[in-house]
Amino acid sequence: MLDVTIQNFEAEVIQASMSLPVLVDFWAPWCGPCKSLGPILEKLELDYAGRFKLVKINSDEEQQLSAAFGIRSIPTCVLLIDGKPADGFAGALPEGKVREFLDKHLPPAAPEEVEVIEAVQDAQPQPGSDEAIAALRAAVQAAPDNDNLRFDLLRSLLQAGYDDEVKVALAPVMLKISTNRKFDAVQRILNAIDFEANYSISTSEKVDFSSLILTNKRDFDSRFALAQIHIGQGRWTEAMDELLEILMRDKTWAEDKARKTYIAILEIMEPPPVKVADGQIPPQDPVIASYRRRLSSVVLS
């Protein structure tokens, strides 16, 4: 799921729909039915494993986009294929009806890909374990074009500390990094890991970023450097705390680098989805949910 604005609409919706159907969910924070439909759409994006892309547009904040699509009520979903609206629906449909809608337009998954995905979901090994990584390696080998499976492998490798293998597994999709938020997240984490590694082995006198921050709370370069060190050493929440300090003072600093890195951490921390019965919402990690709320509070304030 990706939040879309007028600034990234062309790349994330129009251009993306040339190669993959894109489902646009028009919603608003105050909309009750939107809150029931949203988790269903996010679950289906995972279940369909790369057969469509889900994006969300806040109709209150992006009124120009809402007007362009003629949105009169929310939630409203529009499916774009080859750069043009192909179909849509309004209201909070139940999961079964949304599946019927998607199945009318999406290409079927290859039988062998379905078997691989179901096998990985049914096994549900401990995230980041050798068993999970082995299963995901086999899954990606069987379905190399499935971006969701590849990201699950990349995330598990990062969580296990197999940084070199992450770079190898990311290489085939390097051209997608600029348009795929999950692959962009992996690259940002790798950048931080490399920064921390170079900092740790530096033979020259090390910069004390914490002291610099105490002297100047708006020394965002030092805060970002400290956040990168935290990431490289696996201190995810400490890194997000530093990034939040930047965002509270400058929401768009360095072309959104702090916000995008914060989101990257959440992507990597997020555990793989737990398979649940139809109609049920997978449980949320309380730490991740808390940090998502903190980000929203700062960015939307």
Nearest to 135 by CA among 158, 153, 160: 153
Q: Which two tokens stand for residue 102?
A: 């998607």
Give the helix ranges, DSSP H, for the chain: 9, 32-47, 63-68, 95-105, 111-123, 130-142, 147-160, 163-170, 181-201, 209-215, 220-232, 236-249, 253-269, 286-299
Residue 278: CB atoms within 10 A of its CB come to 11
Q: Token pair 């939107």 is at which residue?
A: 34
Residues in contact with 190: Cβ distance below 8 Å, sequence separation at least 6, in sequence order: 163, 166, 167, 170
Which residues are part of the catalytic machinery?
31, 34
The candidate with the shortest Cα–Cα distance to 258, out of 198, 218, 209, is: 218
**221: Cβ–Cβ under 8 A, 6 or more apart, which residues?**
none
